[in-house]
Structure 1
Amino acid sequence: MIPSIPQPKAGVRLYQAYVALFFIYLAAPLIVVGVFAFNDSLFPSMPWEGFTLDWFIGDSDPRLGIFNDGALMESLGYSAFVAVWVTVLSLFVGTCNAFLFERTSFPGKNMLYVLALTPLVIPGVILGISILIFANSIVNNIEDAWGYEIEALRPSLVLVILGQFAFITTITTLVISARLRKFDISLEEAALNLGATKLEAVRTITIPFLKPALVGAGIICFLMSFENFNTTLMLTGSDSPLTITMFDRLKQGSTPALNAISLVLMIVSASLAFISIFVQRDKSGQ
C-alpha cells in the first residue's frame, strides 16, 4: 500500500487488520511459550495450574529449574563458547572479504564472490554432512599416512565452529560490504597525505565508520550460531550445544523447563536486537 495514493477506507481497514493478524500470528507462539514457563504443572499445556518459578529455580526432580540443571547449563556454556568463536572468526574474515571485494579488482572476482556466498544457500544438513565427510577424509588419510589422528576434526565443538563459520561468515561479508560501499575513500586519502600509513588510516578512519555494521553483523552471527541446529547436529560430539540438548530432552518428553530456557533465550535475543538498533541509531545521529 502506497501512502501517497488515496485509498478507500475499507481497503485501509482491511490492510490494517491484515498487519495486526500477521503480528499476532508471529507473537502468539512466543507468548504461549513464555506463559507456560510459569505454569505450576509437569506438562507445558492447559489447563493453567497456577504461577510458579520452579522451572527457573527449582532444586529437585521432577521440578528441577534450568538454573540448577547442570547438564542444561553446561550445554548453554558450550553454545556460548561456539557462538563467540564463530562471531570473532566471521567478523575478521568477513571484514577481509569486504575489503577484498570492494577495494580490489582482479580476474575472476565475480566468480569468487559468488563462490564465497554459496554456503548461504546450501541446506544446513547438506553442509554439515559435507563438512563431516571432508573432515573425516582428511583425518583418516593423515592417520593412514603418519599414524597421527587429529581429534579436533572428529565430531566435536571445533568442527561445529568450523561448520557454522563456513556459512555464517557470508552474512558478515554482505553486511560489512554494504557499509564499506558507502565510505568516502577520499577520507583515507586525506589521512595518507597527512602522513598516516595505510594501516593507520584504515584503523582510525575506516573501521570506526564500519562500527555499526560490525556490531550488527556480530550480533547476527552470535544469534545464528547460538540457535543453529541442522549443521550443528551433524558435527557435534559428546559436548552437545544447547539446541542439541533441548532436542534430546524433547524426545524424552516436554516439560515447562524447556519453555523456561526458551523464554530466557527470547529475552537475550531481544536485548541484543535492541543493542544493535541503539548502536545504529546512535551512529546515524552523529
Structure 2
Amino acid sequence: MVAGLRTSSTLLGIAVFVFLYAPLALLVAYSFSASRTLTFPIRGFTFEWYAALANNEELLRAVANSLKVAAGVVFLTLLLGIPAAYALSRFAFRGSALVDHMLTLPLMIPGIITGLSILLLLKSFGFGLSLGAVALGHSVAWLPIVVEQVAARLRRLDRSIEEASLDLGAGYAQTFVRAVLPNLKGAITGSALLVFTLSFDEVSITFLLTATENTLSMQIWAMLRQGVTPEICAIATITVAFSGALIGLGVGLARS
C-alpha cells in the first residue's frame, strides 16, 4: 500500500509539473518556428524572430524603460528595507510586531489594488503618471521581500559580533556598517535580484501608473492586441530565461 501511495504521489507530481511547464515549452518551441502561424506540429527552425526583435526600436526602448524602473526599485527597496529589517530585528519597541505584519501586507494585496492606491495618492498630491510613479508602486509592492530576507539573515547572525564591536567603543552606526553589513551581502544581493526580476515582469501596477513610456510588459500587452505572433513567443522566451536565471541566483544568494 505504501508503494502504491508513493507511485500515485510521484505520478501526481509529474502531472502537475507537466501542467505548469508544458505551455512554456510549447511557447519556446514556437519562438523557433519557421512559420508565422502558430500551428502544430511546428514546421522548420529559424532564429528570424529573435533577429527581428533586435531591430524593433519600440521594443528596445521598452526594455530600457523596464531596466530603469527595476534599477530604481532595487535602490529604493534596499535603501528602506535594510534599515527597517535591522530595526525590527535588533530593537524592541512598542508596536514592532504590528509594524512587522504591516510591512508584509503588500505581498498579500493584489497588485491592481496596490497600483490603484498609489494612483489615488499621486493624484491627491497633484503628481502625474510616469516611470517614477511605476518605480514607487513597485517599491511598495516588493519592499517586504527585502525586509524579510535581510531580517532572516540577521536572525542567523551571531550577536556576539555586534556586542564585541560595541564593547570596543564603536557606536551603533559604525557597528552596523563595519560588523553587520558585510555579513548581509548574500541576503542583500539575493533580495535585490528577486526584486529586480519581479519589477521587470510586473504588469498590473505598471498598467495603472505608467504614462506614455511603455515598459517591456506593457509593450508585450500592446503587441498581443494584434494576436500572438512568433515575435511575442521570442520575447517571452528571453524574458522567462532571464527571469529564471535571476530568481535562481537570487534564491541561492539569499540562503547563503
Give the TM-score, by structure 2 length: 0.93
- 2:115 equivalent among 128, 148, 151: 128
Local SS of the residue matching 1:159: helix
Contact 2:197/2:247 (<8 A) preserved: no
- Compute the displacement of 1:203 (Å): 2.0
- Compute the displacement of 1:195 (Å): 4.2
2:14 matched to 1:14?
Answer: no
Q: What is residue 62 of structure 2 aligned with on the other side?
A: 75
After superposition, the C-alpha distances for 1:68-112 in whole angstroms (9 at most, x for unaligned) are: 111011101111110111011112211111012111122222222
Contact 2:187/2:253 (<8 A) preserved: no
- Compute the displacement of 1:270 (Å): 2.4
Q: Aligned partners of 2:71 and 2:14: how far apart in 1?
A: 36
1:177-256 alignment runs, 5 A limit: 177-256=151-230
- Compute the displacement of 1:56 (Å): 0.7
Q: Aligned partners of 2:254 and 2:144: how far apart in 1?
A: 21
Q: Let me know the Cα RMSD of the aligned residues.
A: 1.7
Q: Aligned partners of 1:175 and 1:279: how far apart in 2?
A: 10
Contact 1:136/1:154 (<8 A) preserved: yes
Q: Aligned partners of 1:221 and 1:167: how far apart in 2?
A: 9
- 2:22 equivalent among 25, 28, 31: 28
Q: Aligned partners of 1:53 and 1:83: how far apart in 2?
A: 28
Local SS of the residue matching 1:210: helix
Identical-pair percentage: 30
Instruction: Number of aligned residue pairs: give it.
Output: 256
Amino acid aligned to 1:276? G
Q: Which runs of 5+ in 1 are unaligned?
A: 1-6, 58-64, 140-152
Give the TM-score, by structure 1 length: 0.84
Contact 1:82/1:157 (<8 A) preserved: yes
Q: Aligned partners of 2:187 and 2:94: how far apart in 1?
A: 28
Runs of 4+ displaced beyond 6 Å: none
Amino acid aligned to 1:127? T
Contact 1:80/1:226 (<8 A) preserved: yes
Local SS of the residue matching 2:143: helix
Q: Aligned partners of 2:28 and 2:65: how far apart in 1?
A: 24
Contact 1:44/1:259 (<8 A) preserved: no
Q: Aligned partners of 1:99 and 1:32: how far apart in 2?
A: 45
Q: Based on CA coordinates, which of the two structures has the bigger radius of gyration?
A: 1
Q: Aligned partners of 2:124 and 2:251: how far apart in 1?
A: 44
Q: Aligned partners of 1:131 and 1:202: how far apart in 2?
A: 32
Q: Which runs of 5+ in 2 are unaligned?
A: none
Amino acid aligned to 2:94? P
Q: Aligned partners of 1:90 and 1:279: how far apart in 2?
A: 17
